[in-house]
Structure 1
Amino acid sequence: MPPPAPPPPLPPPLKKNELDDTLYHIAKFMKLMPILFEGGPDPLVVDNFMDRVEKYINAINLVTDKLKIVLTTYNFVRDAEIWWKTISHIHNLDTMTYDTFKKLYYEKYFPAPKRKELKKEFDGLRQGNMTVTEYENKFTSLLRFALGIANDKEGKIEKFVDGLDLTIRPIMAASKPTDYAKTVRKALVVEAESKDNKTIRESYKHNRSMGAFSEGQSSKK
């Protein structure tokens, strides 16, 4: 009998570009420390998660829909993870596009009626008792639901100024701002000056009141 054939030589260690694409990209993705998504009713959390994850996906130059879906759902926990397991049994994940995945995601956690509700909230947004900083934060968080305004530079500024407090709005309108960031900074300055003037007026009234009281006390003596 001929001697047995020698075993084939061991393959060389795998290089990085030969690693399984999914495992390699998951490791790269997790180094960026993306946030986890638990599900839940808060639409801003739902939208922020997708925005953040897509930034990470773009940063590592993913091009295949399957990998994008794998990495996004890798960060699902609790309710979101349970929901995704259910979806996995209903849909063919091998042929699912990323757009289809996003549609399912938003239908589950951010349905159209809720978007309309937030759009309505944005339309009626006013500063009220909020500070300019609080108002601007609220304005920015809701702006994404009013795409017509979000993509209109002048309309965005006009809407922001229109919602400011009456002590600030006339001054801002008169200055005719043309840049959103400068508009916010100007509003903060006007707010600070308004507060200073209010403090001065209250101090003046207090001093006059105390002076009148002292004169009254002196006249009684």
Structure 2
Amino acid sequence: MKKRTRPLKEVVSSEEKLEESKSSVPKSPDQVPVIVERSSRCDLPEIEEKKKKLFSEHGFGKQCSQSNKKMVQTRNTVEGSSGGAEPNVLEPVELSPPLPALPMVTMDGEQLLGIFQRLIESQTEQTALMREGMEDVTMGGAQLPGIFQRLLESYTEQTTLMRESMLDVCRAARVTPQLKVGSAMDFKELGPLEFYGTEGILYADEWLENVERLMKIVRIPDDLKVETASIQLFDIARIWFKDEPELAVPNLTWETFKELFKKKFFSEVARDALQDQFERLEQGNLTVDEYAAEFDRLSHFVEYMTGAPEVRARRFRRGLSQEIRLYVTSIARTYEEILKVAQGVEWDLGRRPKRGRGY
């Protein structure tokens, strides 16, 4: 049997094609299959062998080793996150440089509340749009609804945390409000009492209490209380305030002013007189409320009544009328309890004065 031989032209043509393929350097890995697949007579192992040979001859693998390594890493990362699915883009992603740090900004409670409110509105709107998109989307795959669901849960959680933060800011704004500091003009508008220095100990005590209460209402600072109160001093009291050496010290506190004021206008003679009046005080023909008011007014000037609630309760009970005291002795212990029981007994005994036809 004769052995078939190829024509000379075909052999030359094949060798020329082989030399031509060796001289052309592949530009990318995607061009290699195109060059090799033109030979339909080669099977898969031969294709892989020719690819390796071409890469080794032209140094393509060394030139692109770093690029291929990055693409493989990107491919593995994407495949790991998508369950092995083939990604469409294999190029490595270049990250943007980090943003510069924002400067520290000091804001009050109202500004923070406005910012939080706008953020919540934005998050709520995004959540609503995402929910609508998840309901309207139609596709063949089963992963997209799950992605939408996770994003929706994330935005919902962010909105909840933002709302809680806004509530914390609200509480902080209520706990530490920005209070307006009062002035002497604000104090004068409330009509404080005037003091001339000749009214007596009871009026002096009333003036001191009135001035201190009004300064607290208009929020007069501690370092301005003495000067503010001195506006209401006239005649003898004004002369004392100007000439008293102990008042001329710098940074005079309000507590020191009160001590000096009482030392001047709460004389020992007046104190002794009020103490004697307190010791003789009894209910007599007074109602329980009238007796309690006089008891409170006079006991304020008795030293042994200060910080002694048991002594105060016994002294008040001792001054009640006999018919009321019999009911109070075995029931109440403190001053408040004795006063409450005495008022009830007085009502039952009909001693409360009539104030109209309805009583």
Task: Please say whether Structure 1 and Structure 2 have the same fold, judged by a TM-score greater than 0.5.
Answer: yes
Question: Match of 1:84?
Answer: 241
Instruction: Give me the whole-angstrom Cα distance separating, in 2, the residues matched to 1:187 and 1:153.
Output: 18
For residues 4-32 of structure 1, give each alpha carbon's deviation from its aligned partner in whole angstroms, at most 9, with x where no partner exists. xxxxxxxxxxxxxxxxx9xx621232233
Q: Map 1:103-142 onto structure 2 (within 5 A).
A: 103-142=259-298
**Which residue matches 2:128?**
none
| Bigger relative contact order (CA 8 A; separation at least 6) | 1
CA contact (8 A) 2:222 2:253 kept: no
Residue by residue over 1:113-149, the C-alpha shift from the partner in whole angstroms, topping out at 9 and shown as x without a partner, is: 3223322322332212322222111101012123433
- Kindly state the Cα deviation for residue 100 of structure 1 after the two structures are TM-superposed: 4.2
Tell me which amino acid in the other structure corresponds to 1:55: R
| Aligned partner of 2:347 among 192, 198, 212 | 192
Q: How many residues align?
A: 170
Q: Cα distance 1:27–1:193, how it changes in 2: closer, same or farther (>3 A)?
A: same
Q: Does 1:151 align with 2:307?
A: yes
Over residues 171-201 of structure 1, what are the superposed CA-to-partner deviations in whole Å (9 max), with x where a residue is unaligned?
A: 11122x14433422321222233346xxxxx
Partners of 1:39 and 1:79 within 8 A in 2: yes
Q: What does residue 34 of structure 1 align with?
A: 192
Structure 1 gaps of 5+ residues are 1-20, 197-221
SS at match of 2:183: helix
Compare 163-172 and 36-45 and name the one that shifted more: 36-45
TM-score by length of 2: 0.42
Corresponding residue of 2:141: none
> Structure 2 regions of 5+ residues with no counterpart?
1-180, 352-359
Alpha-carbon separation, structure 2, partners of 1:85 and 1:150? 32
In structure 2, the partner of 1:183 is 338
CA contact (8 A) 2:222 2:254 kept: no
SS at match of 2:275: helix
Give the partner amino acid of 1:164.
Answer: L
Q: Would you say the 8 A contact 2:226–2:254 is kept in 1?
A: yes
Looking at CA atoms only, which structure, 1 or 2, has the larger radius of gyration? 2
CA–CA separation in structure 1 for the residues paired with 2:237 and 2:302: 27
Q: What is the CA distance between 1:151 and its match in structure 2?
A: 2.3
Structure 1 counterpart of 2:325: 169
- Paired with 2:196 and 2:278, the residues of 1 have a C-alpha distance of 26
TM-score (norm 1): 0.64
CA RMSD of aligned residues (A): 2.8
**Residue in 1 that maps onto 2:215:** 57
Identity of aligned residues (%): 27
Q: Which residue of 2 aligns with 1:69?
A: 226
Q: CA deviation at 1:91?
A: 5.5
